Amino acid sequence: MLSFRNRIEKNDPEIIRQIAQSTGFFDDNDVQINVNIAENLLNQKDSNHKFLFADYMNKTVAYVCYGEIPDAKEGTYEIYWLSTLNEYRGLGIGRNLINKLITKLRKKGAHKIYLKTESKDLYAPTRKFYERCGFKLQAVLPGYYDDFDSCCIYALNLDERDSWGFYPEQYGAAE
């Protein structure tokens, strides 16, 4: 049974380290950025980032780190980091977590969620994942991460219904 929690707990920085490392997508610096955000939140030194965790049978198996973008229009959020523990990938947990986040943010009056991801081949499944979650590619910043690795900016417009009258997360709920 999958459950979700917002509250960050003492062991979460280490859990986040293990989940991020397990994916094989992030270098040590990226992993440490995730851990530092969690530690700063625990020490109440950060109010711009939040986490939503997915727990499966009392084990934390995925997390998303997000926040409201301070200099953008009110209700504009960004997903900063997202990972599912490697052996739990492809089971629908990431999709459920994003759906939960969308529902939560919509209740808070959010209008838009942005995220940045990479153009290199390693991230092709990640881009596919976001597209399946309803995000649309908005812009590409060439050479942002590396000479041949561009930044792909995706957005989900929470005010938009599709041509069937459904909001994006309702696809997830129907499956």
Does residue 92 touch ligand COA according to CB under 6 A?
yes
Give the x-and-dash track for 41-80 against ligand COA (CB under 6 A).
Answer: ---------------------x------------------
Query: Could you say which of 18, 23, 40, 103 contacts ligand COA (CB under 6 A)?
Result: 23
Which of 33, 42, 91, 151 is the binder for ligand COA (CB under 6 A)? 91
- Measured on CA atoms in the order 51, 42, 60, 126, is the torsion positive or negative? positive
Q: Which of 16, 82, 113, 156 binds ligand COA (CB under 6 A)?
A: 82
Burial readout 28-66 (b: 16 or more C-beta within 10 A, e: otherwise): eeebeebbebbeebeeeeeeebbbbbbebeeebbbbbbb
Separation between Cα atoms, residue 126 and residue 115, nearest integer Å = 12
Which tokens sit at 12?
Answer: 């979460």
Note the residues at the interface with ligand COA (CB under 6 A). 23, 25, 62, 82-84, 89-95, 117, 125-126, 128-129, 132
